Amino acid sequence: MTKDKENSSQVESNIRSAAVVGAGQMGAGIAQVLAQNGIATQLYDQSADALQRANALIRKLLDRQIEKEKISPADKEATLSHLSDAADLSDLAQADIVIEAIIERPDAKHELFSKLDEICKPQTILASNTSSISITKIAAATNRPEKVIGLHFMNPVPVMELVEIIRGLQTSDETYAISKALTQEIGKTPVTARFDYPGFIVNRILVPMINEAFFVLMEGIATPEEIDAAMKLGTNQPMGPLQLADFVGLDTCLAICQIFHNEIGEDKYRPCPLLIKYVEAGWYGRKAGRGVYTYEE
């Protein structure tokens, strides 16, 4: 297999300014990485609390990098000088690229992209960090479908090397080349999904495994700890599937399963009833303090 990095032509993205919409666990990480690489980055969320939490998290992670001597205090200040909060979507008009990382719901993403299309300058690329929603359909909600692309970062963004790139049916070669160059300029390795099918590459494989782990739990075959230990020790994964589900967010896992089930239409993708129950209970995982496991902080 060849990674895109090895095939890359030396295109420069020329992206100087970016905006991230959605300041949850993914949006905060994407904004941090862009700013750490010298790109002026605005962060917007419809929730002021989320924005505040994201800023606190970024500061905490930068401090941790200083403690580990990976960056200097001056690097931290430089990163923070490239970051700013946006009070309103209209503040993002001049960004060279907007990366969306809001809730995994098609209607919410379609509405947002339609608004961004009206607000942003004509050259702005509109990228989605969606885990499973059709980029082609998101693009169709705009009048610039050739400038819409999927940039699927992995969690936690500052640590994980991969960015999956998803071309919608309408994505232009120029948008693709610029976006791919950007991922490389911020130190990531892109791999491209050649077709815009639900879940692309990583989640098409990963999420059914997580869903199956919930079935194994529901059927009483093993405890959460046993399931995670078996998969860690038996398949050399750094984290078991249930712990990973808590990290991803059970609401996000369920949303992805539902999209697979509805759009691919095969019974093998039906969400596990236990996963549905956990989400109904508000047990969204680490971000909620309770998922399969309980978290102190």
Ligand X SMILES: NC(=O)c1ccc[n+]([C@@H]2O[C@H](COP(=O)([O-])OP(=O)(O)OC[C@H]3O[C@@H](n4cnc5c(N)ncnc54)[C@H](O)[C@@H]3O)[C@@H](O)[C@H]2O)c1
Number of Cβ atoms within 10 Å of the Cβ of 47: 12
Q: Where are the alpha helices (DSSP H) in the chain?
A: 4-7, 25-36, 48-67, 73-81, 106-119, 135-140, 173-185, 202-218, 224-235, 241-248, 250-264, 273-280
Provide, rounded to whole angstroms, the least separation between the CB of residue 202 and ligand X: 8
131 is catalytic: yes
152 is catalytic: yes
Stretch that binds ligand X, among 136-144, 165-173, 220-228, 246-254 (CB under 6 A): 246-254
Closer to ligand X by Cβ: residue 15 or 248? 248
182 vs 161: CA distance, rounded Å: 13
What's at 229, amino acid-wise? A
Q: Active site residue: 131, 132, 134, 179, which one?
A: 131
x/- track of binding to ligand X for residues 23-62 (CB under 6 A): xxxxx-----------------xxx--x------------
x/- track of binding to ligand X for residues 121-150 (CB under 6 A): --------xxx-------------------
Q: Where are the alpha helices (DSSP H) in 219-271?
A: 224-235, 241-248, 250-264
Q: Active site residue: 13, 134, 152, 211, which one?
A: 152
Cα–Cα distances in angstroms (integers) from residue 206 to residues 45, 195, 201, in the given order: 28, 17, 9
13 is catalytic: no
- The residues that touch ligand X, with contacts defined as CB under 6 A, are 21-27, 45-47, 50, 101-104, 108, 112, 129-131, 152-153, 155, 248-249, 252, 287
